[in-house]
Amino acid sequence: MPATATTIDVSHLSKSFGPVDAVSDLSFVVEPGSVTGFLGPNGAGKTTTLRMLLGLVNPSSGLATFGGVGYRDLPSPLETVGTALEASSFHPGRTARNHLKVYTTATGIDPGRIDRVLKQVGIDAYADRRVGGYSLGMRQRLGLAFALLGDPRVLVLDEPINGLDPEGIRWIRGFLRELAAEGRTVLVSSHLLSEVQQSVDRAIIITRGRLVYDGTLSGLEFTARVVVDAPDRAALHSALLAAGARVDVSEGGLVVKELDGAAIGAIAHRAGVPLSLLAEQQEGLESAFLELTGTEPEPAPGVHRHGAHAAPAEGDAS
Ligand SMILES: Nc1ncnc2c1ncn2[C@@H]1O[C@H](COP(=O)(O)OP(=O)(O)O)[C@@H](O)[C@H]1O
Ligand SMILES: [Mg+2]
């Protein structure tokens, strides 16, 4: 496998289904060694993008490759890219073990991998039970076992957290992190930021087929609200305004947007104003996500890029 096949390259990718522009001029790069969240509300175009990446849907224009090589041209795809697509169906009459055996037989992957991956995803005790009796969470785990079968360096997972119980969610968060820590490229889609926010290093957010954010989660959090107060609220208010902050006065304190707690603390410190309250609002990240994806009026919002993974600014949305 060429070393570059560990990078996911999406370049000016578009897909229309008749009048529906499912994906529009989408570009991003996903590098090894971290978990990248591919986020957006239902219908945003996530599955369509991933299906184009995996050669299951033909793009209307643009390219989706692994380091320049299309999925269909990969010499040993299962050993290069592991995939778990949404609503993957397994023959209900087959056991988990037999399901995986079909693939090891077809591809020449070491059948010893079967027990290994079933154990890795925690369903080894059910390996010889028929999949028809599996819960949704167990089927999700079997989907992951399939993705891992060829010990691939790249994982493309479409909504793998959907349907997991709280224990399963906790498990998969750690699991995704481990895979990235092993140097793998992990791209994981979700329609819920809250589902993945503890496991992703970087977020690519789309809505209506268009990129609206590409960067770190902390960069996104920047748009969250922080409630801050001081015994001398007037002094704090003027210090924040003087620093160029957007401030709303509420009963519970001053509500500051577009600055994080550290920045506000520093402003107060420089102004010599002791604080009595500094609270980053819990739903800040989620509301930033909703603001980016949910209620924006047309035309589509511009692209916001923050953080270490930011791509070059040219070719920004609009
Ligand atoms: N095969 C298809 N034929 C027609 N429209 C489709 C097809 N697949 C997806 N779409 C439409 O494309 C848009 C994006 O869908 P999808 O990629 O499934 O979004 P997501 O995975 O983010 O929920 C939606 O409007 C959906 O209805
Ligand atoms: Mg989808």
Mutate to test the pocket of ligand 1, among 10, 15, 16, 20 (most ligand atoms within 8 A of CB): 20
Q: Can you list the positions of beta strands (E) in 141-224?
A: 154-158, 185-190, 202-207, 210-216
Q: How far apart are CA 29 and CA 43, in angstroms?
A: 22
Whether residues 150 and 243 fall in one domain: no
Whether residues 208 and 233 fall in one domain: no
Between the alpha carbon of residue 37 and those of residues 108, 159, 183, 253, 289, the distances in Å are 32, 10, 16, 34, 12
Q: What is the pLDDT of residue 185?
A: 97
Find the CATH number of the domain harbouring 274: 3.30.70.100
**pLDDT lower than 70: segments of the chain:** 1-4, 87-88, 221-224, 282-284, 295-318
Which ligand gives the minimal distance to the CA of 49?
1
User: Which residue lies with its CA nearest to atom 2 of ligand 1?
Assistant: 17
Cβ contacts of 166 within 8 Å, gap of 6 or more: none
For 47, list phi and psi in degrees, rounded to 5.
Answer: -60, -40
Q: Is 61 left (phi over 0), alpha (psi -120 to 50) or beta?
A: beta
Whether residues 65 and 112 fall in one domain: yes
Closest CA to 217 of 242, 247, 194: 194
In the chain, the amino acid numbered 215 is: G
Q: Has residue 79 been placed in a domain?
A: yes
Q: How far apart are CA 256 and CA 227, in angstroms?
A: 6
Judge contact between 256 and 247, C-beta under 8 A.
Answer: yes
How many A from CA of 45 to the centre of ligand 1? 6
Q: Has residue 135 been placed in a domain?
A: yes
Q: Which residues line ligand 1 (CB under 6 A)?
A: 17, 20, 22, 40, 42-48
Whether residues 233 and 208 fall in one domain: no
What atom of ligand 1 comes closest to residue 57's alpha carbon? 1
Q: Has residue 318 been placed in a domain?
A: no
Q: Has residue 143 been placed in a domain?
A: yes
Burial state string for 135-148 with b = 16 or more CB within 10 A and e = fewer than 16: eebbbbbbbbbbbb
Q: Containing domain of residue 251, as a range?
A: 225-280
Q: What is the pLDDT of residue 47?
A: 96
How many A from CA of 156 to the centre of ligand 1? 18
Whether residues 190 and 100 fall in one domain: yes
State the total domains in the chain: 2
Judge contact between 150 and 120, C-beta under 8 A.
Answer: no
Q: What angle do CA 144, 43, 32 make, to 5 degrees?
A: 40
Each residue of 254-295: pLDDT tens digit? 999 878 899 999 999 999 999 999 998 755 677 778 888 874
Whether residues 49 and 77 fall in one domain: yes
Q: What is the DSSP string of 215-279?
A: EEHHHHHTTSEEEEE-SSHHHHHHHHHHTT-EEEEETTEEEEES--HHHHHHHHHHHT---SEEE
Q: How far is CA 169 from the centre of its chain?
A: 14
Q: What is the pLDDT of residue 311?
A: 37
Mutate to test the pocket of ligand 1, among 10, 17, 211 (most ligand atoms within 8 A of CB): 17
Q: What is the pLDDT of residue 129?
A: 96
Find the CATH number of the domain harbouring 68: 3.40.50.300
Burial state string for 218-245 with b = 16 or more CB within 10 A and e = fewer than 16: ebbbbbbbbbbbbebbeebbebbeebeb
Whether residues 273 and 301 fall in one domain: no
Whether residues 185 and 254 fall in one domain: no
How many A from CA of 48 to the centre of ligand 2? 7
What atom of ligand 1 comes closest to residue 18's alpha carbon? 4
Tokens standing for residue 131: 């999949």
End-to-end CA gap in the chain: 37
